[in-house]
Amino acid sequence: MSLVLGVGLRSGTPYAELHELVTTILREQPDTISLVVTVEGKEREPAVRQLVDDLGAELRTFSADELAEQRVPTPSEQVEQLKGTSSVAEAAVLATGAQLVLPKQRSSNATVALGRTPAAAGYGPGDREAVYRVIAERRDVRRGFLDLPVDDATLGRVLGAAHRAPSVGLSQPWDFLVIRHVATRRKVHELAVAQRDAFAASLPPDRRAAFDGLKIEAILDAPLNIAVTCDPGRGGRHVLGRHADPRTTMSSAAIAIQNLWLAARAEGLGVGWVSFFEPAEVAAVLDLPRHIELIGYLCVGYVDRFAPAPELVRSGWAKRRPLSWAVHHEEWGRRTASIVGDAAQAAQDVVPAAGQCVRVVVGGDAAQLQDAEVLVVDLGTDRPAGDFGVLWRAARTPAEAVEFGVEIARDLALQGVGQLVVQVVEDSERAVALARGLQVGASACGLTHSSA
Ligand SMILES: Cc1cc2nc3c(=O)[nH]c(=O)nc-3n(C[C@H](O)[C@H](O)[C@H](O)COP(=O)(O)O)c2cc1C
């Protein structure tokens, strides 16, 4: 439950007067006021602003016309003549949808009324802003680490935030291995360098040139490394919620990392997640017990700056997906805007000037992955063996196949693809439909496309 305070007052009402009135009505109420509501214009009154600050509440206003629509228990003709509504304080409470629990109380210059909403209160605007801000300003940081120590208290707070993460059945499957020794970090670094080389060798030439300019880890630059691990069996046999989906234990550990990342950002600590590893090789270097799995390897330390956007975006390597692409309503594929319209709208943003060429083989399988430019779309009903070169899209209808085609083209555009060559090898309606979707998506995103 949370309380809503409706306020009406004359211009220049002293804060002390309003404060006393509010204190009097709050004596009987154990809950806190999360929302202060008044008529438009009064939000600029110093007494209202100070009250909102002191309560840590949110401030909302309604126009006199909106307030006039409310049926209030204590209407006033005088207020009606002055304001065009027979009530401000009570009407403001009711306009929020709250139930009135205390009708209008007055002092010489102010009136207040109190309401209650069934929903628990969120945070006030300042706190809410801080939460959204840290989410938006968290960055994966690989450059600019400073040679400054991270003290134990700060590290403790950040690890404490990680340790508060939700976890399946409260199994808390994570552990945090804090590594400062350079000798250990060197060994881990060597593993990352080897994987970096392997990845570079797998890329088409233009992509490789772009990758060469990217920094993908800061293992030796950051003063601290933290290996975040997961014990998939923690808590034994009857962990609530894990029985049907063992992946939930990994998700829990990943969420702990996100908590750590956000808290670190708030503390001014940069965090860079490195995944250029065979996890078993890192586990061997760190001498982890066999049952412990590596989830994330993090480079942590103070940095000279936090970039305003992801490094992969700033370097042109990849782009963000618009939220509207990711939200479906009631049924898979039912989005707010048409999938093609969305792609066209995002085209200016998503298409790099000179993108790589990808040959999409529709209805193929892993055997067709001869060169690095090839991407296979497998339409079969069974999940193919894992290979990122094979996209499994078991379309249930030709219409869905078209949508999948559009989606693939859009998502490739975000990953730096500028040109599509579509080759259909399966003789089916779905394969033709998916190829059509690829072409529609490609033109909507401004990719050049052709058939092979
Ligand atoms: C699971 C995971 C693994 C990642 N691995 C690497 C990595 O090996 N090297 C790297 O440079 N960035 C890595 N990143 C960071 C991403 O590139 C980064 O989160 C993304 O580009 C968005 O940027 P932002 O985190 O600054 O918003 C990883 C991120 C996650 C979540």
Render pLDDT for 17-48 as a digit per residue (tens, 0 to 9): 999 999 998 887 777 898 999 999 999 999 99
Helix (H, G, I), strand (E, B) or coil at 88: coil
From atom 22 of ligand 1, which residue's Cα is the shortest distance away? 310
304's CB contacts (< 8 A; 6+ apart) are 144, 146
So what CATH class is 326-451?
alpha beta
pLDDT at res. 352: 53
Chain-centroid distance, C-alpha 281: 31
Mutate to test the pocket of ligand 1, among 135, 140, 282 (most ligand atoms within 8 A of CB): 140
For residues 408 and 404, give the distance between their C-alpha atoms in angstroms, rounded to a whole number. 6
pLDDT tens profile 239-250 = 999 999 999 999
Which atom of ligand 1 sits closest to the CA of residue 257?
31
pLDDT at res. 411: 92
Tokens of 356: 């790589």
pLDDT at res. 173: 98
Which atom of ligand 1 sits closest to the CA of residue 141?
26
Helix (H, G, I), strand (E, B) or coil at 45: coil
From atom 19 of ligand 1, which residue's Cα is the shortest distance away? 140
Tokens of 251: 């998700």
Residues with CB under 6 A from ligand 1: 139-140, 142, 216-217, 273-276, 310, 312
Residue ranges, comma separated, of all CATH 3.30.420.180 domains in the chain are: 2-117
For residues 446 and 440, give the distance between their C-alpha atoms in angstroms, rounded to a whole number. 10
Residue 112 contacts residue 6 (beta carbons within 8 Å): yes
pLDDT tens profile 152-204 = 999 999 999 999 999 999 999 999 999 999 999 999 999 999 999 999 999 99
Tokens of 189: 């670094």
Return the residue matching tokens 């049952």. 291
- With the C-alpha atoms ordered 113, 117, 120, 126, is the resulting torsion angle positive or negative? negative
Residue ranges, comma separated, of all CATH 3.40.109.10 domains in the chain are: 138-314
pLDDT at res. 226: 98
Task: Report in angstroms the alpha-carbon separations of 142 from 253, 265, 296, 304, 306.
Answer: 22, 14, 15, 11, 10
Residue 221 contacts residue 252 (beta carbons within 8 Å): no
Which atom of ligand 1 sits closest to the CA of residue 214?
11
Mutate to test the pocket of ligand 1, among 275, 303, 306, 414 (most ligand atoms within 8 A of CB): 275
- Return the C-alpha torsion angle 409, 372, 188, 144, nearest 10: -50
Residue 191 parent element (H or E): helix 182-202
In 3D, which of 216, 238, 5 has the Cα closest to residue 112? 5
CATH 3.30.420.180 fits 2-117, yes or no: yes
From atom 26 of ligand 1, which residue's Cα is the shortest distance away? 139
| Spacing, Cα 227 to ligand 1 middle (Å) | 15
Task: Report in angstroms the alpha-carbon separations of 276 from 8, 216, 249, 283, 296.
Answer: 61, 8, 22, 13, 10
pLDDT at res. 231: 97
Residue ranges, comma separated, of all CATH 3.40.50 domains in the chain are: 326-451
| Spacing, Cα 274 to ligand 1 middle (Å) | 7
| Spacing, Cα 425 to ligand 1 middle (Å) | 35
Tokens of 297: 């390897």
Tokens of 328: 């479906």
So what CATH class is 138-314?
alpha beta
| Spacing, Cα 45 to ligand 1 middle (Å) | 47
pLDDT at res. 348: 61
